[in-house]
Amino acid sequence: MSLDHEFIQRDHSQHPPAITPLYKTSAYRGPAKPLWSLQTSLSDVTGPLFSPHELGPLDNDLIRNYATSGDPVGERIIVHGRVLDVNARPMQGVLVEFWQANASGRYRHRNDTYIGAIDPNFGGCGRCLTDAEGRYVFRTVKPGPYPFRNRVNDWRPAHIHFSVFGSGFAQRLITQMYFEGDPLIRHDSIINTISDAAARERLVARLDLDAAVPLDTLAYRWDIVLRGARATLFENKMPGS
C-alpha cells in the first residue's frame, strides 16, 4: 500500500488533557466519564456539500460585512494560508469559518460583559471556501486581548477562532490562531495546556509582509494541517482520531 493510503498516527503527547488545573473551567467542560461511540448516520458523512454560490461577496471581509456607518476601528490585517492533508496536498472546497473579538477585545455576544467598547461596524465573523490550491483568505481587524476569570490576572492573547468542515457536519474541526510576537502567548492558560512547544508554535500565524497592502493592511500567514506529525492542534479532535 502506498503512503497516500496510510494514516500517520497522531502523537498522543501533544494534545492537552481534557481536564487540567491550569485552565480551571476545564473541570466543568471536560468529560468526567468515558465517551460513548455512536453509530454514524449516512447524513453525517455525506452532507452538506458547500458551493461558492452559497457564500456572499463580503463573507470573507470582516471590515465590510457588518459595517453600516464606516469602517471598524483597529489595525487592518489580512489572514491567509492553505488547508492541507497529511501529505501536504491542498484540500479544495473546505468551508473555513472564523470568528473573533473586536479591536478592544470584546465579542459581539450578549454574554460578553468586558468593558471594551462594542464596535457598531464590526460583527466579528465570516467564512470562505478553499480554492484548488487549498488557499483561504480573509480581511479583518486585529483582535484585542481581554481578561478572563481563571487566575488572578489572566489575559487571553489576540486570537482568532477557526473551524473547518469536511464533507459533513460530523467532520468539523475547531481551533484557535495566535499572532507572532504576542508576549501574552507565553502567559496564556489555554494554549499552555499544550505541553509540546512545537505544537504550540503551529498555532501561531507569521507576519507576511509579501502579502501586505502597502500603506493599508498588514498580513499574516497560517496553514492548517489536518493530520500527521505536523497537524494543527484542534480543540474537538481527540488524540489518535
How confident is the prediction along the chain (241 residues), in pLDDT tens digits per residue? 234 444 445 555 667 777 887 888 887 778 878 777 777 777 766 766 777 888 999 999 999 999 999 999 999 999 999 999 988 899 999 999 999 999 999 999 999 999 999 999 999 999 999 999 999 999 999 999 999 988 889 999 999 999 998 876 677 889 999 999 999 999 999 999 998 899 999 999 999 999 999 999 999 999 999 877 678 878 765 444 4
pLDDT of residue 203: 97
The whole model's pTM is what?
0.87
Q: How far apart are CA 12 and CA 231, in angstroms?
A: 12
pLDDT of residue 240: 44
Give catalytic residue positions.
107, 146, 156, 159, 161
pLDDT of residue 157: 98
pLDDT of residue 32: 79
pLDDT of residue 202: 95
Q: How far apart are CA 20 and CA 193, in angstroms?
A: 7
Q: How far apart are CA 15 and CA 30, in angstroms?
A: 14
pLDDT of residue 106: 97
pLDDT of residue 1: 29
Q: 76 vs 34, 44, 66, 90, 216, CA distance in Å?
A: 44, 38, 15, 27, 7
